[in-house]
Amino acid sequence: MEPHTTPTAAPKVRARAVTRTFGHSGRQVHALGPLDLDVQHGEFCCVVGPSGCGKSTFLRIVAGLVRPSGGEVELRAGRRHPAAMIPQDYGIYDWKTVLANVRFGLDVQRVPRKAANARARDWLDRLGLADFADAYPAALSGGMRQRVAIARALAVEPEVLLMDEPFAALDAQLRTILQDELLAVCQATRITALFVTHSLEEAIVLGDRVVVMSARPGRVIAERRPPFERPRTGQLRRSPEFAALQSELWELLRGEVQTGAGGAAMAQSAGKRS
């Protein structure tokens, strides 16, 4: 297998001194930055940080959905293999069938219908949704809707995959299953991923690198490389290195986590293992 990162090639995502401020005249909220980050080709980069520190804002800036107030962002992805984003709310269309949802990006790319259907069905199959191709999202559980969002993003065979807390709304068991599935898919396809989460556990399982953000306005305060070889499996959660790294990251974050929803959520996800 090729090495997972090729530092000599240009990074797929390159952010320099990115800032974002919201509001006008009266009250200004400095939401983000200045933030610098490179994500290399084939790298799975996880970003963790307290709630409200600007993680979603950063991801939207990388996706081109929000303009930075300052700094520069480059996202390198091709026309045939574009970037795909899985937003925090899944972003699936309730009025389209599961198959049509998964085919959506292919329709945008004008892939011929027969080939698009075949590719969409293949992804539905891989994510255990084959029997639900003709169902509408309203008939699906939260976990299944999440899988539809993942299948839709992966169906375009993206070069870069942007994910915003894609498993946050799921129960712990399902989250573990989907993390393992994502791990398998990413290792098989050598996708470049930028994955935002508030779960340290998730970041350590999935990431080649875990980038820690400060409280708002979010900046990079540290990064660690989980010392686990690929291909990984979910088993690594039980290793002593895993627990050690989780504690270390939690120590880094502790000072950044304020009281409130973000603090509670992070304390919970860190506490599970310590």
C-alpha–C-alpha distance, residues 71 and 148, integer Å: 34
> Segment contacting Mg ion (CB under 5 A): 38-46, 48-56, 115-123, 260-268?
48-56
Q: How many residues in the shown chain lie near Mg ion by CB under 5 A?
A: 2
Give CA–CA dist 192/13, Å, rounded.
9
When CB distances are held under 5 to 8 angstroms depending on the partner's kind, the choice from Mg ion, ligand ADP, none that residue 53 binds is ligand ADP
Contact of residue 199 among ligand ADP, Mg ion, none (CB under 5-8 Å per partner type): none
Region from 42-50, 56-64, 144-152, 200-208 binding Mg ion, contact rule CB under 5 A:
56-64
DSSP label of 132: G
Contacts to ligand ADP by CB under 6 A: 22, 29, 31, 49, 51-57, 216
Instruction: Tell me which of ligand ADP, Mg ion, none is bound by residue 22, counting a contact when its beta carbon lies within the kind-specific cut-off of 5 to 8 angstroms.
Output: ligand ADP
State which of residues 5, 56, 101, 146 lies at the interface with Mg ion (CB under 5 A): 56
At its nearest, how many Å lie between ligand ADP and the CB of residue 153? Answer: 19
SS3 199: coil
What minimum distance in Å lies between the beta carbon of 66 and ligand ADP?
Answer: 8
CB of 245 to ligand ADP, least distance (A): 22
Residue 194, phi then psi, degrees to nearest 5: -120, 115
Residue 191 CA to residue 160 CA, distance in Å, equals 6
Q: What one-character-per-residue DSSP string does 48-90 give?
A: E--TTSSHHHHHHHHHTSS--SEEEEEE---SSS-EEEE-TT-
CB-based contact 221:214 (threshold 8 Å): yes
Find the shortest distance in angstroms from Cβ 170 to ligand ADP: 17
